[in-house]
Amino acid sequence: MASHAHPLLPPADGTLGYVRIGDVLLDSGVLLPQVTIALQCWGTLNADASNVVLIEHALTGDSHVVGPKDALHPTPGWWPGMVGPGCPIDTDRWFVICTNTLGGCRGTTGPSSLHPDGHYWGARFPAISIRDMVRAEAQLADLLGIRRFAAVIGGSMGGARALEWMMMYPQRVAAAGVLAVGPRASADQIGWQTTQILAITADPAWQQGGYHGTGREPTMGLGIARRIAHLSYRSEQELDRRFSNRPAPGEDPIGEDLSMQGRYAVQSYLDHQASKLIARFDACCYVLLTDALNRHDIGRDRGGLHHVLENCTVPAVICAVDTDRLYPLRQIEEIAEYLPYCDGVDIITSEKGHDGFLAEADQTAEILRKTMALAEADEQVHV
C-alpha cells in the first residue's frame, strides 16, 4: 500500500502531538467536554491505515514509548528497544501510536488540565473507568480513520486497557498483547491502591483536590503513595538481596531514639523513586487513575469474567511475571484459561517482580514478537 501523512497526526518521529476528539460520554453517564488526546507516532502509515499498532502505557507512563531524552523525558522512553526499525515492533513494517490516557497529566485532558470555565479541573474531574479510557481512544481512531488495529499491546494498567479493547471492540483488534495484569481488581490490589489514594488525600496540601494554581501541592502524600506502590512493583527477593537491613551509606538508622535521622538502604531507594515521580506526575491524576484501576473488571455487566472471556474472538498473547506480587500468576492464568484464541500464559522469569515486563528486555521482546506474529497471520488472512 502507498503511505501517506495523516493531517491530524504528528510527525511519525516521536514528536508529541494533540488531537481534539470532542466530548466523551463516560460510564457514569457524565459527558466529559472538549477532550484532547496527546499521542506520539513512529513508522509509516499505510494508505488504508491497516498497519497500526496501539501501545498502552502503565499507570504513571505516557506516550513516550521510545525516543530521545529531553526536559520532559529524562529517559529514552519507558520501553526502550521495543519499538523502532528492526525492533520487536518493527516500524519498518508497522505504524505505532501511543496515547497518553484519558485522565493523564502528559497532554491528554485530565485533572491538571484547564476546565472550560478557565480554572483547573482538579478533583472536579469526574471518576473514570478503564472502559472510558478505551472509549476515548476509539473516538480518536474514528477520527483518524483507523477501522481496525493490527495489534493492541500494553502492560499493567496498559494491559487492562488492552483487555478492554478486546472486550469492547473485538472487531477492531486483530491481535492483542496483555502483560502483567489480571481480569479484575482483587481485594489485595484494591487494598494497596486505596491506601495510596488515602496517603495523597490526607496531605494537608491536597486542599480537597483544588491545589492546582495555589503554589502548594500534595507532594508528601504523592511521595508516600509512590513508596507504597513501588514495594508492590518489585519482589521481596530482589529488595532483600539488594538492600537487606543495611543502613544507607553514611547513615545510622539504629540510633538511641526515634528521630528517624538515619535511613535504611531500602528507605533511601524508595525516597529516590518518590522524588522522581513527584518531579513529573500530578497527584490528582494519580488518584484518578488509581481509582480507575480499582474499578477494573472485564466481567462487570457482561455476564461475569468467564462468560466474557469465552466469547472473546481476539487472538491474544497473555503474559505474567513469575515473581509479580501485585498481579500474581493465578489471576493471569484465569484469563488464558478461558480465552479461546490463546495458547496459555507466557511467563517472564525475573527477580524484579511486576516491573519484569519493563526490566527484562530480551524476554519481553519475545512476547512482543509473538504478538506481532498474530498480527501478521491476520494480515495474511485478510489480504
Q: What residues are labeled active site?
A: 156, 324, 354
In sequence order, the β-bridge partners of residue 89 are 83
Phi and psi based region of residue 190 (left: phi greater than 0; alpha: psi -120 to 50; beta: remaining): alpha
Burial 237-249 (b: 16+ CB within 10 A, else e): ebbeeebeeebbe
251 Cβ contact list (under 8 Å, min separation 6): 261, 262, 263, 268
243 Cβ contact list (under 8 Å, min separation 6): 264, 265, 266, 269
Could you tell me how far CA 337 lies from the centroid of its own chain? 24
DSSP 8-class letter at 12: T
In sequence order, the β-bridge partners of residue 22 are 35
Beta-strand pair 83-84/345-348: unpaired
Per the CB < 8 A criterion, the answer to whether 65 and 34 are in contact is no
